[in-house]
Chains A and B, each alone.
Chain A
């Protein structure tokens, strides 16, 4: 499928594997893209999806271990604490920002676009709303059917990279490519704007479990690494983080570690990905152009 746009016939043909979760990530993304913009109702998705939604009933019921509830609630509490800490530091709250780990798509009548009523106000709001606005919702005809899904890893990463590029596009911003310390490790892109705000997008991250969080660190000169915030990662393998108060200086280093829990003050080695900030290509020309353009 390789990024090619699908025709309505092709999308109809893919309805059954789509509702069963049997498409490759790329195919699924192509279907979602088509459904977002198509004027046809594609009711086959709702009809077949209603059957897929009934399939869980065929499963033999098994009780989870009792300890699992405490584990989940502890992880949620830690997540809330970490988000609160970031708010105190003036960074956006990743309970508001689509963090790439899981963004369920809710099919709604065509024309309705995401959702995510922000729960908090303040300077975070514009960022969060902008980030949320790119989470398009697939419009599927249907009654009382939620053919829910998640953004594919590709979509999530693309969205996060787009947010980073928005930061990078500002005059005076610096960017950093984060390379994996070991082959196959996490990699990504970061940008620091002239206002000190940073956007970071990563992929190929192993999912976190328990209280684990990935922590981003900034290293300025010989100073000790400073934590920027943590985030958890789910099945998509992608993650994103926003922070503020960073110097937009070339040479500033960014590092990623996996921490046993949120709130680490010193990094737990090994460093999984590392990159140094540099002025983006073309910025010198842009600066020069700015000096000669009225």
Chain B
């Protein structure tokens, strides 16, 4: 996720996106090697999200297995041109992780690049190792700048897997306030990410 991605509707796809789509197309054709490649490309980020949300290494492994098997079976449903494979994949991981933590709660219903493009065509892979760290700092900074209550709402929801009702119960805030905090937090983060990402 870059400032450009946040800003520009017409942004052309990156070389990395194109490679990912090629890999995913092979996954859709049932090539295990392609699944292996996809795993290698996003295993770290995927596992990190799963681990952060579940807080349990075993559960995080199960989440990854479910997510990659889901991608294996349904790669054909990925709609090329509408977004990056990594966002698609990581969204699956996040949803799986949330499902996993909610199943544990009775109260709730429930960068490694293997195929680098030629240098002349290389554009920053914002999810690659180095850029990811830079962007991680940016996103963390944007999070850190939020008022405490807003940051808490984001963290409990996205990283904690809590429903808005559960957040309201935990924080003692009315449901409408919780929703408002989430929205304000996302709007503020969006504005800040654009500012930070736009800096040279």
Contacts and interface: CB of A to CB of B under 8 A. Distances in A.
B32 A53 contact: no
A71 B77 contact: no
Contacts of B43: 63-64, 68-69
A80 B32 contact: yes
A75 interface: yes
Nearest to A47: B190
Contact of B99 (A65, A143, A232, A236): A236
The CB with the most chain A CB atoms within 10 A, among B60, B88, B183, B190, is that of B183
Contacts of A143: 8-11
Interface of A: 13-17, 19-26, 47-48, 50-65, 68-69, 71-73, 75-77, 79-80, 94-96, 98-99, 101-104, 106-108, 112, 114-119, 132, 135, 137, 142-150, 153, 207, 209-210, 232, 234-237
B30 A95 contact: yes
B23 interface: no
B96 interface: yes
B44 A62 contact: yes
Contact of B48 (A50, A59, A65, A137): A59
Interface of B: 1, 5-6, 8-11, 13, 28-30, 32, 35-36, 39-40, 43-49, 51-52, 57, 60-62, 64-70, 72-74, 76-79, 82-84, 87-88, 90-92, 94-96, 98-100, 103, 109-110, 127, 132, 135-136, 138-140, 143, 154, 157-159, 161-165, 167, 178-179, 182-183, 185-187, 189-190, 193
The CB with the most chain B CB atoms within 10 A, among A72, A108, A210, is that of A72
A15 B164 CA distance: 12
B77 to A, nearest CB: 5
The CB with the most chain B CB atoms within 10 A, among A52, A59, A63, A146, is that of A59
Given A107-B82, A146-B82, A64 B61 contact: yes
A7 to B, nearest CB: 15
15 contacts: A17-B182, A22-B163, A52-B186, A57-B136, A57-B139, A61-B44, A73-B32, A73-B35, A101-B66, A101-B69, A102-B96, A108-B82, A144-B5, A146-B91, A148-B91
A178 to B, nearest CB: 20
Contact of A51 (B40, B49, B161, B193): B193
A98 B49 CA distance: 25
